[in-house]
Amino acid sequence: MIVMKFGGTSVESAAAIERVAGIVKSRLKRQPVVVVSAMGKTTNLLLTIAEKAYTGDRDEAARLLEELASYTLQEARPVCDEADWAEVSGFIEAHFQELSAFLDELVGIGEFPPQYVDLISSYGERLSSRIVAAAFRHFGMDGVHVDSREVIVTDRRHTQAAPLYSRTYAKLEERVRPLAEAGRAVVMGGFIASTQDGFTTTLGRGGSDFSASIVGAGIGAEEIQIWTDVDGMLTCDPRILPGGHRVKIISFGEAAELAYFGAKVLHPATVVPAVEKDIPVLILNSRNPENEGTRIVAESVPCANAVKSIACKRNIVVVNVQSLRMLMAHGFLKRIFDVFDRFQTPVDMVSTSEVSVSLTIDNTAHLDEICAELRKIAEVSVDSSQSLICLVGDNIRETPGLAARVFGSLRAINVRMITQGASLLNLSVVVMDADLKAAVEALHAEFFTTLDEKVFEA
């Protein structure tokens, strides 16, 4: 039994859905359970429509909603049998009527509460999963739809809900596993769930990967496949430096570091249920299904190379906090981090001296308030337009001279911060955004001129 997750680009059109059906059909003997994201950019558009409504532009919201409904019907029609079409089209139209009614409510209250964010953004996966299940029947499989909200149970933290694992696993074992064992092609929507009393929640943006991992753990899958539009994890971000090498196999720990520090092919939370159940995760390409992709496993992966991959985060901000009160004082760092905690702003990287601390953040929504609070206890300055570069690999801590190689390759670039030691798996530096491409090129040339063929595709 396997779980196969397909992202938005993999189900964005009738042609893409047909391609997904072909991939799933070729693996029917492995009893697949399929998890799908919303079609294309549907979720982003739904949130834009809702914003138009609650800010008072109801006419524009209605126009965009009508466009989205037409697109959904247009792409669904070619992949549905005549016998299914009346039910599927009725389902789509009814859901868009519901959406229109919710938009009217938003206009009335003039705000966009978190519970409404979850409810409205959930429609993308609710529609795509029903359409894909019908498409499977159209292409000769016994497709069956299961509403994820009926089997994935979470707490009440809207827009970022946490699964209640024991209840969820029990429901998946009872409801989904028997369908897959009976040879039915089960289709579920990613990202969406519900509270114990039935209120719709979501697992956070990008949460369809997380959904797939939860489902895999709940049904005891032998493998979780994340189907995207790239051939797996690469030695560098192709948006910054094309021509990187595919990583054939990598550990969960390394993959989590890469995901957190900018590798977009995997949601960071994905690995948690998979690690706990020791289920391998594969990153595969729906546009190139014959490629072996990247296999993520629990154990450390021996490699002759010191670094497995380079991840990047653009447009980060460095917050510098300096105060003589820090000298020989205890509790000062706690006061600083309490401020970030109060404004629910995660810190990526920290560098300290006797009287100063530098921290990086990528969420600047509360930057002004954070700085105002920090200035009550210290001098504060902010450096914007920075990029964080993270070198990841099991061998980083144990490789002598690695920092020297990093600084040697970056000798023509001003390095703003560096940290190593907090993690066994990474070494991170901060440079100006303008220097990012040159820095990544230099690091990639330094660490990937020769490749361990067991781990990398040349």
pLDDT in tens, the chain (458 residues): 999 999 999 999 999 999 999 999 999 999 999 999 999 999 999 999 999 999 989 999 999 999 999 999 999 999 999 999 999 999 999 999 999 999 999 988 888 999 999 999 999 999 999 999 999 999 999 999 999 999 999 999 999 999 999 999 999 999 999 999 999 999 999 999 999 999 999 998 778 999 999 999 999 999 999 998 889 999 998 889 998 999 999 999 899 888 888 777 777 677 789 989 999 999 999 999 999 999 999 888 899 999 999 999 999 999 999 987 766 567 788 899 999 999 999 999 998 887 889 999 999 999 999 999 999 999 999 999 999 999 999 989 888 999 999 999 999 999 999 987 666 789 999 999 999 999 999 999 999 999 999 999 98
Last residue in a domain, options 228, 248, 282: 228
| Tokens matching residue 60 | 């524009």
Residues 221 and 323 in one domain: no
The number of domains in the chain is 2
Residues 206 and 328 in one domain: no
| Tokens matching residue 17 | 């859905």
In a domain, 458, yes or no: no
Q: Which of 227, 349, 250 is nearest to 308 (CA)?
A: 250
In a domain, 239, yes or no: no
pLDDT of residue 91: 97
| Tokens matching residue 292 | 């072996």
In a domain, 95, yes or no: yes
| Residue entry with tokens 């089209």 | 89
Residues 50 and 184 in one domain: yes
Residues 335 and 187 in one domain: no
Residues 222 and 323 in one domain: no
Cβ–Cβ < 8 Å for 405, 447: yes
Q: Which of 265, 168, 260, 158 is nearest to 211 (CA)?
A: 168
Last residue in a domain, options 177, 198, 228: 228
Q: What CATH number is given to the structural domain containing 314?
A: 3.30.2130.10
In a domain, 14, yes or no: yes
pLDDT of residue 423: 65
Residues 321 and 439 in one domain: yes
In a domain, 38, yes or no: yes
Residues 193 and 84 in one domain: yes
In a domain, 145, yes or no: yes
d(CA 69, CA 61): 12
Residues 102 and 223 in one domain: yes
Residues 67 and 163 in one domain: yes
Q: What CATH number is given to the structural domain containing 194?
A: 3.40.1160.10
HEC readout, the chain: CEEEEECHHHHCCHHHHHHHHHHHHCCHHHCEEEEECCCCCHHHHHHHHHHHHHCCCHHHHHHHHHHHHHHHHHHHHHHCCHHHHHHHHHHHHHHHHHHHHHHHHHHHHCCCCHHHHHHHHCHHHHHHHHHHHHHHHHCCCCEEECCHHHCCEECCCCCCCCECHHHHHHHHHHHHHHHHHCCCEEEEECCEEECCCCCEEECCCCHHHHHHHHHHHHHCCCEEEEEECCCCCECECCCCCCCCCEECEEEHHHHHHHHHCCCCCCCHHHHHHHHHHCCCEEEEECCCCCCCCEEEECCCCCCCCCCCEEEEEEEEEEEEEECHHHCCCCCHHHHHHHHHHHCCCCCCEEEECCCEEEEEECCCCCHHHHHHHHCCCCEEEEEEEEEEEEEECCCCCCCCCHHHHHHHHCCCCCCCEEEECCCCCEEEEEEEHHHHHHHHHHHHHHHCCCCCCCCECC
pTM of the model: 0.88
Cβ–Cβ < 8 Å for 374, 319: yes
Last residue in a domain, options 228, 247, 272: 228
Domain boundaries, position 190 = 2-228
In a domain, 295, yes or no: no
